[in-house]
Amino acid sequence: MPILSTVGNKTWSQRLFVWFVYGALTFFGASMAVPFMIMLTSSASNDFDYDRYAIAPRSIWSAPDRFMKGTPYFAKPGDLFPHKPALWTSWRSIGLDKETSDEISNRYLKAPESDWARWRLQAADYAAFALAHPLNDTKAAMTREMSAEFMLSHYIDLAVEQEPSLADERGSVREKAALKLLSETWGVPVENYIGINFDLEVGRPITQQSWVPSGGPKWKDFNALRFAVQHGAQTPGVLGAWKDFLKERDYSSEDIKRYSPLPMDAPPELTSLWLEFAQVNAPLSPVIPLSLRETWVNYLTSDEARDLLKLKATQRFDVALYNSLAGTTYADLEDTPFPLPEQGFTDLQPIWKSFVERQYPLRLTSLEVTPELRVRYESFLKKNYGSIRGLNQILGENYKDWSEVPLPVTLPDEQPDQTTGLREVWFSFAKTLPFSDRHISSGDASWQAYLKNKYQTLEVLNEAYGWHLNYWEEAVMPLDKAYAVTYSEHKLAFFSRPFLFNYSTIMRFLVDQGNSIPVTLWLIILSISSSLTVNPLAGYALSRFNLRSKDKILLFCLATSAFPAMVSAIPGYLLMRDLGMLNTFFALILPSAASGMSIFILKGFFDSLPQELYEAATIDGAREWQIFLFVTIPMVTPILAINALHAFIAAYDGWAWALIICQDKSMWTLSVWLYQANTWWAGSPWITTAGFVITSIPTLVVFIFCQKIIMRGIIVPSMK
């Protein structure tokens, strides 16, 4: 009798029960759909919104969200915006702080056109300035994937240049040659294109006093990459717009290809064209001139500055103290002038001097070489190196007298064929010099110089920019405005970038990994066919023939499914090793070829078939294998479909066993590579998530295909 009768009116308690059932079903349905939706959303996310774990990307309907989602392509969390909230220390905190993030975004998105006109001017000025700034003195927020892709294609070109026959080879062969060349050039082994990165170079302590660019071939490549990134290689939508820009100017398609992005050795004509283009279309690039303003503010609030000012241990340097010392009315230390103006700010000058002497990067320092300094230099040399012979040994030179030792104005460039001796000598000498002998440069100062050169007076500048500066030194680089302009020019590209980037990156990775796709396909085919052969045959034999100890065999079959698979992983590995089957398809397939449970189920089904069916077939002239193949198998297709589905899922999704049994990377399946990708991109999980989505598509297709067969149901012979 059914729980709910289909006849008569339902009582309230019955209705309640029905609602409960529907509610429960909806809940369980949602609990299955929600994780998948979160995965889909994550696969279209980036640093900014991954940690939200939302079921749909907010950026679809929220313009401020789209705006903020583009910022990770340019700078560290929140660094583009002046006066960023104190809590904005990570992308996670920014992404979760929707209110503030929206408010900041709306400042730009909802600004009046008059503001935008000024911002476009600021952005254009910034672009012109930034492009002229030396690459060595920039910060660059570059993705590893960008670096890898760029360097790989660069080295493929180089390899083909060296070995023209490579041009006709397959992509993987060219890639291998390129990686070999790259490893030789850099002097570090790089096995995989994804291993190409500039993490060390990007993460260098650029604001430290003693840090200097290392030079060398990798550094040169790094600069080439930075140049490309500066010229639109990484900014969403920019390269496309640049190509159109060139096309409008009647450049041939080869030229367009050659100059996108612009190479370092591009002709001046194109360099100026780029400037024209960038000022309007892409004023901001991820390569940003280094500002030392923050280092200065940090120094002001450091213990050292506190000691210099003889402040109490409990007292902190803040903007109020700054204003009282300098007689100014700043709202934030960020707004104070940098570098400190030479006039005024008397009480702050000692701290500034100390900052320059003790903290300011020496590579940004130049000397005014006077005869008097030259004297001090020679006495420094005598004191530190004793004899000219000793110095010659260090420098690898053959100076006869102290007076011959050169004193460069700035840090000498590293020469690959020479020792770095002079550099170190200059370095240690410059360190000893007082403030008055040092001339310092910085991104900030260069920017201010650029403005001074263009606008001559502060009044003109303030008028043009809508600023209210009292000192040139108060001028900061308008990164936020440059970003707003860049973003507004390429809204669609910014919006689609995370999605496209994540998917193309992971696709590139999965397709590129050796034999992953053919290996996976083979494994699936072999797994399914072995499972569809072994299990029905075993079930059929157990059902049809009077074997001795049939019951015990069946019990054994069932017992195998009582243990979790991982229990047998280590013994299974040892067995495969002793059989010499490691790194072979046998090892991947054999352990799961027979499934006790499905043998049991199939045997049960074969048992339930009427004996007459076999007899009819026998009399019809069928041999045993024909009965098996033409009579019984077609009746168990739904069971076999489930079997095949299981075999497929086990082969396709199973990475643990595949990883244990195959150390040889050429035998790794997609799921093992995906596991590898997961460790590889631990810092940017959205890429792996896109991989999860992609790899779940075949499962879905197979499932849809199988479910048709499964839903058709088992054909039970009706014998009436």
CA–CA separation, 403 and 378 (whole Å): 7
Integer Cα distance of 473 and 352 in angstroms = 14
Residue 635 is a binding residue for other proteins (CB under 8 A): yes
* Cα–Cα nearest to 641, from 713, 550, 540, 539: 713
Q: How far is the CB of 713 from other proteins (least distance, A)?
A: 11
Among 161, 607, 612, 664, binds other proteins (CB under 8 A): 612
Judge residue 512's burial from the number of C-beta atoms within 10 Å of its C-beta, 0-12 exposed, 13-18 middle, 19 or more buried.
Answer: middle
Task: Give whole-number Cα distances, 692 to 160, 356, 444, 454, 687, in Å.
Answer: 35, 52, 45, 53, 9
Buried b (16+ CB within 10 A) or exposed e, 596-631: bebbbbbbebbeebeeeebeebeeeebeeeebbeeb
Region binding other proteins by CB under 8 A among candidate stretches 527-535, 571-579, 619-627, 655-663 = 619-627
Q: Of 633 and 649, which has the nearer Cβ to other proteins?
A: 633
Interface pick for other proteins out of 613, 642, 656, 659 (rule CB under 8 A): 613
What does the radius of gyration of the chain's CA atoms come to, in whole angstroms?
Answer: 35
DSSP code for 359: T
Q: Which residues of 265-300 are buried (b: 16+ CB within 10 A; e: fewer)?
A: ebeeebeebbeebbbbbbbbbbbbbbbbbebbbebb
Instruction: Give the residue among 278, 181, 273 at the shortest CA–CA distance from 221.
Output: 181
> Considering the complex, what minimum distance in angstroms separates the CB of residue 608 from other proteins?
12
Closer residue to other proteins, CB minimum distance, 463 or 615: 615
Mode of pairing for the β-strands spanning 438-440 and 365-367: antiparallel
State yes or no: residue 620 binds other proteins (CB under 8 A). yes
- Dig out the tokens for 491 from the structure: 């809204």
At closest approach, how far in Å is the CB of 646 from other proteins?
23
Contacting range for other proteins; rule: CB under 8 A; set: 49-57, 248-256, 585-593, 712-720:
712-720
460 sits near other proteins (criterion: CB under 8 A): no
> Cα(65)–Cα(87) distance, rounded to whole angstroms?
18
- DSSP states of 31-51: HHHHHHHHHHHHHT--TTTGG
Nearer Cβ to other proteins (207/543): 543
The interface region with other proteins, picked from 228-236, 591-599, 624-632, 666-674 by CB under 8 A, is: 624-632
Q: Cβ closer to other proteins: 250 or 551? A: 551
User: CB 611 → other proteins: shortest distance, Å?
Assistant: 9
626 binds other proteins (CB under 8 A): yes
CB-based burial label for 192 (10 Å; 0-12, 13-18, 19+): middle
Write the DSSP symbol of residue 56.
Answer: S
**Can you read off the two tokens belonging to residue 4?**
């709910």
Asked whether position 634 contacts other proteins by CB under 8 A, the answer is yes
Q: Taking the complex as a whole, how short is the minimal distance between the CB of residue 661 and other proteins, in angstroms?
A: 39
Closer CB to other proteins, 569 or 633, in the complex: 633
Closest CA to 334 of 485, 135, 480, 142: 480
Range in contact with other proteins (rule: CB under 8 A) among 149-157, 404-412, 565-573, 626-634: 626-634
Cβ-contact 186, 217 below 8 angstroms = yes
Q: How far is CA 594 from CA 70, 305, 538, 552, 634, in A?
A: 52, 75, 9, 16, 20
CB of 645: closest distance to other proteins in angstroms?
20
Q: Does 718 bind other proteins (CB under 8 A)?
A: yes
Q: Which of 615, 625, 629, 664 binds other proteins (CB under 8 A)?
A: 615
Count, residues near other proteins per rule CB under 8 A: 22
For other proteins, which residue of 622, 642, 656, 660 counts as binding (CB under 8 A)? 622
Of residues 572 through 611, those in contact with other proteins by CB under 8 A are: 610
Decide: is 709 part of the binding site for other proteins (CB under 8 A).
no
* Binding track over 391-410 against other proteins, x by CB under 8 A: --------------------
Single out the segment in contact with other proteins by CB under 8 A; choices: 122-130, 282-290, 622-630, 644-652. Answer: 622-630
* 404 token code pair: 């011959």
| Residue number with CB closer to other proteins (373 or 622) | 622
- Judged by CB under 8 A, which of 388, 617, 640, 661 binds other proteins? 617
According to the binding rule CB under 8 A, does residue 547 interact with other proteins?
Answer: no
Site track 257-296 with other proteins (rule: CB under 8 A), x = hit: ----------------------------------------
In the set 630, 663, 664, 708, which binds other proteins (CB under 8 A)?
630
Q: Is residue 303 a contact point for other proteins (CB under 8 A)?
A: no
- Alpha-carbon dihedral 96, 100, 103, 108, rounded to 10 degrees: -80
Closest distance of CB 637 from other proteins, Å: 8
Stated as kind and residue range, the H or E segment containing 366 is strand 365-367
Identity of the residue, 20 or 630, whose beta carbon is nearer to other proteins in the bound complex: 630
Q: What is the DSSP string of 462-498?
A: HHHHT---SSGGG----HHHHHHHHHHHSHHHHHHHH
* Binding region for other proteins (CB under 8 A) out of 152-160, 444-452, 628-636, 652-660: 628-636
Is residue 716 at the binding interface for other proteins, with CB under 8 A as the rule?
A: yes
The span of 22-30, 404-412, 614-622, 652-660 binding other proteins (CB under 8 A) equals 614-622
**Judged by CB under 8 A, which of 7, 320, 619, 682 binds other proteins?**
619
Q: In this structure, what token pair is assigned to residue 112?
A: 């009046």
In angstroms, what is the minimal distance from the CB of 605 to other proteins?
A: 13
Choice between 371 and 621, CB closer to other proteins: 621
Q: Which residues pair with 438 in a beta bridge?
A: 367
**How far is Cα of residue 27 from the mean position of the Cα atoms in its chain?**
35
CB 322 within 8 A of CB 330: yes
Nearest distance in Å: CB 532, other proteins: 17
Nearer to other proteins, 482 or 617 (CB): 617
DSSP output for 400-421: SSGGGS---SBPPPP-TTS-SH
Q: How far is the CB of 687 from other proteins (least distance, A)?
A: 47
Give the tokens for residue 622: 């069928």
Q: Which residue, 521 or 635, has its beta carbon nearer to other proteins?
A: 635
Contact segment (CB under 8 A) with other proteins among 318-326, 369-377, 410-418, 617-625 equals 617-625
Stretch that binds other proteins, among 123-131, 507-515, 523-531, 625-633 (CB under 8 A): 625-633
- Regarding 629 and contact with other proteins (CB under 8 A), the answer is no
| Residue 5 phi, psi (nearest 5) | -70, 145
**Residues contributing to the site for other proteins (CB under 8 A):** 610, 612-613, 615-622, 626, 630-631, 634-635, 715-720
